[in-house]
Amino acid sequence: MAASQTLQLSSLNNVEILPIQVIDIEENKIQEPAVDEFDYSQRGQWLRAAVLGANDGLVSVASLMMGVASVKNDIKAVMVAGFAGLVAGACSMAIGEFVSVCTQRDVEISQMKREKRERSLESDENDEKLPNPGQAAVASALAFAVGAVLPLLAAAFIKQPKVRMAVVFVVASVALVAFGVVGALLGGTPVVKSSARVLVGGWMAMGTTFGLTKLIGIDHGM
């Protein structure tokens, strides 16, 4: 019996204890490729100013020209009205955008100052992220002018009043679709839906302006 126990102890002493290897499961996981996602909201400020400015310029001046043409066949009156609308609209867009962005900038600066007091943050690090009112104003004015000049160019060399109005309407419609497509592609939104929305809105504005101006002109014997 003693010999048997001695043999068992001797066998246990000869057993080699192997080190336990811990497998890092996380390292062996299959790493999936990161999806390259673009934050379209970063384009929001300048895209909004550009698209809205161009649409406003196109619809405003085209509607104004069609309204004047509904009661006046004189091409000079139509062109002068359209040019006046271009200048007035561009100035209005620039001033409105400047005031809007200045207000937004003031709000962001106030927020940064509150965070600095609470967390001892350096405000200089975030200065580059603040919106620029001057750039926004210039962009809005230029975008409005680009949209407004299209119906002016379309009507400049056409003498027949009815043909002139038809050409302005067609050019404005094509430009509205183009602006809708560009805005949808840059903003990552559905192209057909965006283009249709812009086009229908422009038609409603031009039709309303033409109809009401025609009605007032008839009442006043114009």
pTM above 0.75, yes or no: no
What band does 9 get if pLDDT is binned at 50, 70 and 90?
very low
Angstrom distance (rounded) from CA 175 to CA 54: 9
pLDDT at 210 over 50: yes
pLDDT at 203 over 90: yes
Angstrom distance (rounded) from CA 56 to CA 92: 11
| pLDDT winner (highest mean) among 21-25, 51-55, 143-147 | 143-147
Residue 170: helix, strand or coil by DSSP? Answer: helix
CA atoms within a 13 Å half-sphere pointing along the CA-CB vector of 73: 5
The pLDDT assigned to 45 comes to 58
Enumerate the H helices of 29-160 as residue ranges: 44-69, 75-119, 133-155
C-alpha radius of gyration, the chain, whole number: 34
Give the residue-averaged pLDDT of 134-148.
90
Residue 2 CB coordination number (10 Å): 6
The pLDDT assigned to 31 comes to 46
Q: Which of 26-40, 64-78, 193-207 has the lowest mean pLDDT?
A: 26-40
Residue 59 CB coordination number (10 Å): 26
Q: What pLDDT digit, counting tens, does each position of 96-127 carry?
A: 989 988 998 888 888 888 877 777 655 455 55
111 or 172, greater pLDDT: 172
Residue 190: helix, strand or coil by DSSP? Answer: coil
Angstrom distance (rounded) from CA 161 to CA 155: 9
pLDDT at 75 over 60: yes
Annotated domain spans of the chain: 44-219
